[in-house]
Every structure is written in C-alpha cells, then in structure tokens.
Amino acid sequence: MGHYYDAAGKPRHEYTNDKGKVIQMRFPRVAQENLFPSVSTVIKDTLANGQLVEYAKRQVAEAAWGNPPNPDSIILPANCELSNKEFWINSILEASLEDAGEAADLGTAVHASIESHMQGEEYEIEHALYIAAVQRFMLENHVEVLGAEHTFTDTDNGYGGCIDLACKVNGLCCIVDWKTRRTKLSEKTIKPYESHPLQIAAYANAYFGLLSGDEPIGCNVYLSTTEPGRMDVCWYSAEELRHEFTKFSHLLSYWQMAREYYPHKNLKKQ
C-alpha cells in the first residue's frame, strides 16, 4: 500500500470497488491505471530507516515501562489460547502502535492547519503555537510563496508527490517541508532523518529542476510537539540536493525494477 498519482498529478491513493467500498490503492490496480508512486512511498518501500527503527523500539520500551508485567492482574479473554506472557507482549505492542498512530494523526492535523493558514482560512485554535512558529519562519526568511500543498507527477522519472511549500527564501528558490517531531530540552538541534533530504531533493527536481539556471535550496522546518513553540530549521544547499537526488534516483530505479513496473515508460508507449 502507498500513495499514488496519475499523470496529471491528481492524487489516487484510494478507489471505490464495485460494492461501493473505499479501498487503499495497491497493485495490480496501480499498474492497471498506470499510476506513479509518491516520493514517500518509494523511500518507505526501499530505505531501511535506522532512526525510525530506533523510534519504534523506544515506543515499545516506553509502553512496557508504563505497563509493567503483573501476572496476577492479567485477565485473559474467553477462549484465549495465549499465555499470560504472550498476551502481555501483544498488549504492549498494540499500545506502542496506538501511541505512534496518535503522533502521526497529530502531524496530519498540524499540516492541515498550516495549509488552511496558507490559504487565508481558519485553522484549529489548538494549533496556534505551530502556526506562530510557521509565521516566524516566513518573516525571518522573507518567504515569497510560489505554491503550497502542490501535487505533481514527474513523468520523465516516474514519481509524484505533494510539496508542502515551494517558495523563494531571501530571493532563492526553495522547497520547504514541515515536520512535527517530539523533542527534548537536552537536544540543542534536531537532526533530520535520512529520508528527509531525499524527499526534498525529489521535490526540488520536479518543481524547479536541479540543473536550472536558478538552482534551488531546501529545508526541513521541525515543529516540536513536546516543547510548544519550538522550531528548528535544517537547510540543504543546491549541491547537497543534487547529491541527495542521485541517491533517490537509485532508490526509484530499484523500486521500479523490483516490481517490473515503469509508469513513465508506459506513458511514452501510449
């Protein structure tokens, strides 16, 4: 499963089957409709992200710390074939996944509020501190908006996506990607995950071109969900983005070869 786009850049993440049920887009229907994978789908399917693995391990450890095993308090459901130990382990895993899901839901909700703010519409009042941080970034860097929540498909290379913000920063072309992150006071700066510059490079190539006369830069703007109002910015130069796009191109080639699916080549045949 993943996110997909048609040749015109329209999101096609789901479809409705003959019974009227909404289904997550997946193969073989992806190939039947000649859809293009999103940048995030390509990266998720091909890159072993050690930082996300460490995050998942910590979520499990925190869930275990908050729910220490007590055999006397475990009540097994009727007809349960699991031992107390197995039942407790499954419960901890479910609790850690639920917590991770809540973090993802918050990130999605904050993105929606930022989008509303960019369009001059009302946003969720509980996200006011995040919006204030976004406004601070815009003012400090003299941001000129070129496109917000811009969906696209790169039919030359075979991928699509949705760009948080294409803009000019202090006069330079730039791709901005908003990220919500849990932070600690002990962290002086937030380090990007390996996938973050890959994502921005793919967006920059699709929107601006990495070998154009006005080569773009990029940045991740990290909004803390645990330290209200905290904002960290990680910048990437044009040279770094070119390097990251080369890496992304290899991941994309592997994704296509592993599936024997080349939507951009299929498009040219039609």
Give domain limits for the chain: 4-269
Q: Backbone phi, then psi, for 237, in 5-degree steps?
A: -75, 170
The top-level CATH class assigned to 4-269 is alpha beta
The string of pLDDT tens digits covering residues 89-141 is 777 677 655 665 566 788 899 999 999 999 999 999 999 999 999 999 999 99
* Residue whose tokens read 């609790």: 95
pLDDT class of 13 with cuts at 50, 70, 90: very high
The yes-or-no verdict on residue 264 having pLDDT over 80 is: yes
Residues with Cβ within 8 Å of 147's Cβ and at least 6 positions away in sequence, in order, are 163, 165, 166, 167, 207
Please give the pLDDT value at position 217: 97
Q: How far is CA 55 from CA 66, 178, 231, 262, in A?
A: 17, 19, 20, 33
Model confidence at 63: pLDDT above 60: yes
**pLDDT per position as a tens digit, 236-255:** 999 999 999 999 999 999 99
Give the three-class secondary structure for 11: strand
pLDDT band at 48 (very low <50, low <70, confident <90, very high): confident
Q: pTM higher than 0.85, yes or no?
A: no
What pLDDT shows up at residue 72? 63
270 pLDDT more than 90: no
Distance (Å, whole) CA 207 – CA 109: 25
